[in-house]
Amino acid sequence: MSTKIQGANILITGASTGIGRATALVLAQKGAHVTAAARDETRLRELAAEQSGITPMRADVTNDQDRAALVAAAGDVDVLINNAGLGYHGLVETMPPEKVRELIELNVLALIDLTQRVLPGMLARKRGHIVNVGSIAGYVGVPAEAVYSATKYAVQGFNDGLRRELRGRGINVSLIAPGPIKTEFVAREKTGGPAAEAGAMDRGLPVGTVSRAIVRALTRRLPGYRTITVPRIGGWSRVGSVPGMAQLTDLSTRRRVRQALEDQAQQGL
């Protein structure tokens, strides 16, 4: 069952930059009313000024009161796009406990809580669509990003279980699993703040490849569009999870571990 975008009331988190920003723009251009949520109020205002149909709302989705206020302000949500997320680059033995909790709170708990808050209304109306933005790290654990990978495995498991719970009840559930995308992910992962220029520290596909995948997930009727890896070529994002492939992927990741150890040595950790 496809979702009509024109006229839909869409709530998207992490909308001030990267994938969230690109998705808010494309959905508003297609006639949706988009509530764009993020912590960066300045960037949200710039986004709303760029395209009609976007209502900016500052919200920290790790805060329970902010989540409640966000859902209340959004009204009857037809589509929830759980996009907000955070990474961390570093080895587990030196990862501060507060960073572990931060990743789990933002990447997993906030996503589940927002879903729980919009579901009763969707079920009452017997229509709705929930899109969770995961990662290829939800299929293959990434060294020096082990906790981040754990959160994305959790998103994948939650998404699959929820989809089966809601089957036949009028609610669609989709997972988008991007690979390397040119956003500000690496900058925020390493420095805690945005890059001086969007995408300056990242390599990968443009954010439009993911926003277009989200549109396909909303509008395509085919079962194969419940989960979309980006890029979609042969579903290569899942190859590392195939039995016997782990040994090969391990060879390609040793460099990341060596680099992380060198980074720790330079920081005196």
Is 153 part of the annotated catalytic residue set?
no
Q: Which amino acid is at 30?
A: K
Side-chain-facing half-sphere of 18: CA atoms under 13 Å: 30
Q: Which of 139, 148, 153, 225 is catalytic?
A: 148
As a three-state string, the secondary structure of the chain is CCCCCCCCEEEEECCCCHHHHHHHHHHHHCCCEEEEEECCHHHHHHHHHHCCCEEEEECCCCCHHHHHHHHHHHCCCCEEEECCCCCCCCCHHHCCHHHHHHHHHHHHHHHHHHHHHHHHHHHHHCCEEEEEECCHHHCCCCCCCHHHHHHHHHHHHHHHHHHHHHCCCCEEEEEEEECCECCCHHHHHHHCCCCCCCCCCCCCECCHHHHHHHHHHHHCCCHHHCEEEECCHHHHHHHHHCCCCHHHHHHHHHHHHHHHHHHHHHCCC
23 and 90 Cβ atoms separated by less than 8 Å: no
Active site residues: 148
